[in-house]
Structure 1
Amino acid sequence: MSNDPQSDPQQLWTWLQAAARRDAKAFRSLYDATSPKLFGFALRILRKRELAEEALQECFVSVWNNAGTYDAQLAAPMTWMVTIVRNKALDILRRSGEAADLAAGQFDSEVIDALENPGATPIEALLISSDARALAFCMSTLEGKQRQVVGMAFFHDLSHSEVARQMALPIGTVKTWIRRSLERLKACLARRERA
């Protein structure tokens, strides 16, 4: 086990559980351990310090309000929080009207790398990377909760009912959001392919 709380998932999980019980001291420890990395991640997306600070604040408000919904079987604590700050940063971009100008290369390289096939030839790797960037860009055009629902269903392989339970939403809403989001993703990918 690592002595660095930022890289110790067990310690982060403990603080999240305590935050779910409204333990302000544990929440502060969680913030102190993770905020530098989360801020850096937001800054890479937003490229402006004040916007990254806003994303970080919104992220921790969401963590405080949703710590009780965190499920260690779905993601490591840091992965869960990185996803939240990324979604908040993309929401800020969308609100500011800059999302359309966001270059595909600005998306987290770890996400793109995870989609790449390590055994691919250089030409195949280039195509996979291009497809991954296109998908990442199109995902960023979805509204925050719709993007989260699609991500849970397809990237975490959860059923519609599991997504509904995790998000505390009616299953009909989840099905509608997934259907509409897939239609938007298909249209976005088709537009990018024609461009």
Structure 2
Amino acid sequence: MSLPEPFFDYEACLIACSRGEQQALRDLYEQESARLLGVAKRIARDDALAEDIVHDAFIKIWTRASSFDPARGSARGWIFSVTRHLALNFMRDSAREVHVSEQQETALHDLASLEASHESVDSFDYRSRSGRIYMCLEQLEPVRRNCILHAYVDGYSHSEISQKLDTPLGTVKAWIKRSLVALRECMG
């Protein structure tokens, strides 16, 4: 017959975390880190990744402890929910990534460098054509125009645009590529 686990006050620990009491976070870690690691491992199926997820979960628990609402559920459930959501989000986001070999990455980098060198000469008469770009952008579908603007005005990476628009990474890359071709033709 096993002894029941001693009482642990999760809610009090979260309240203490929200006040900045580091010992409360240590107590939560000692109490639940092994079980949270089990949850993360079941989802991520990778030990090192699961450890990263649990680490991030405790950071989120620490920084968001004040957002815990006992009316919406138990403190322990909230802690497990934070970890589970982080693990699921990571798996969803990594499933969208396109893995490229080192050789492919080198080839893509070389191609980008070559294209950049062709454009380094100021052959673009931007002063006389600046109004035209707005007209050409207006001809693009709104979602494709937004991809172009996020990439070239906001400076977002393709994966950041993918996350922002909740669209697969490959689709975002294709939209940007086709939109650039369309803009080039329009500016012709």
Give the alignment's TM-score, normalised by structure 1.
Answer: 0.45
The structure with the largest alpha-carbon Rg is 2
Give the alignment's TM-score, normalised by structure 2.
Answer: 0.47
Point out which structure has higher relative CO (alpha carbons under 8 A, 6+ apart). 2
